[in-house]
Chains A and B, each alone.
Chain A
Amino acid sequence: KQEVTQIPAALSVPEGENLVLNCSFTDSAIYNLQWFRQDPGKGLTSLLLIQSSQREQTSGRLNASLDKSSGRSTLYIAASQPGDSATYLCAVRLTSYDKVIFGPGTSLSVIP
């Protein structure tokens, strides 16, 4: 059974700092992995989608990497801003027909 974990559960950093969020999954035979952002009480915003054949994806100040063999993905946020404060969730799909399994999320607070 696929399990997804995220470390740390919460993170507080000063503005301008670069940071890394971690996502681990137990079954390395995944189809894709997606990173989301969720603001309090709101829906999820898709940040980056990495297919199983890809090693990384970039969008602006965000870079997500994927290492299937070790069952890990990292989300790198450069030059953090207070507007980055939110919960970040990773989600893994085993095959194109499987449901997506979500991690518990990392709550990020960027202090001005």
Chain B
Amino acid sequence: SAVISQKPSRDICQRGTSLTIQCQVDSQVTMMFWYRQQPGQSLTLIATANQGSEATYESGFVIDKFPISRPNLTFSTLTVSNMSPEDSSIYLCSVEVAGDYEQYFGPGTRLTVT
């Protein structure tokens, strides 16, 4: 298993600003992911955070809006840039444990954009 922490747990931000969310894992993992969960919706994958190379983004998500860093095997950041109220969501970091390909999630960051 893996224990994942995220910072901040929640934030209220003004339109046009940016927020960086941190994800820390207690062990080295190969795969790290960032998800968005809009109010009342299920999870949508934003991107796969690749260690040492650019993240792989899903359709509808671009690097300019959601830049991601992955400097090592235990840490990643997601930045939500030039925020609008439509970015109000829970952002979740997830990791995958090799072998069974089981996914584990962090506690999430609840973002409100005013």
Binding site for B on A (CB under 8 A): 31-32, 34, 36, 41-46, 49, 51, 89, 91, 93, 96, 99-100, 102-105
Contacts and interface: CB of A to CB of B under 8 A. Distances in A.
Which 5 pairs across A and B sit closest by C-beta, in order of nearness? A44-B105, A43-B107, A43-B105, A43-B108, A102-B43
Main secondary structure of the interface of B (DSSP, over half): strand
A41 B110 contact: yes
Interface of B: 4, 6, 33, 41-43, 45, 48, 58, 90, 92, 94, 100-108, 110
B102 A46 contact: yes
17 contacts: A34-B102, A34-B103, A41-B108, A41-B110, A42-B107, A43-B4, A43-B92, A43-B106, A44-B43, A45-B105, A46-B102, A46-B103, A51-B100, A89-B43, A99-B58, A102-B42, A105-B42
A89 B100 contact: no
Contacts of B43: 44, 89, 102
Nearest to A6: B42
Contact of B42 (A42, A43, A45, A89): A89
Given A46-B102, A102-B43, 7 more contacts: A32-B102, A41-B90, A43-B92, A43-B105, A44-B94, A96-B101, A100-B45
Contacts of B100: 32, 49, 51
Contact of A46 (B45, B48, B104): B104
A31 B48 CA distance: 19
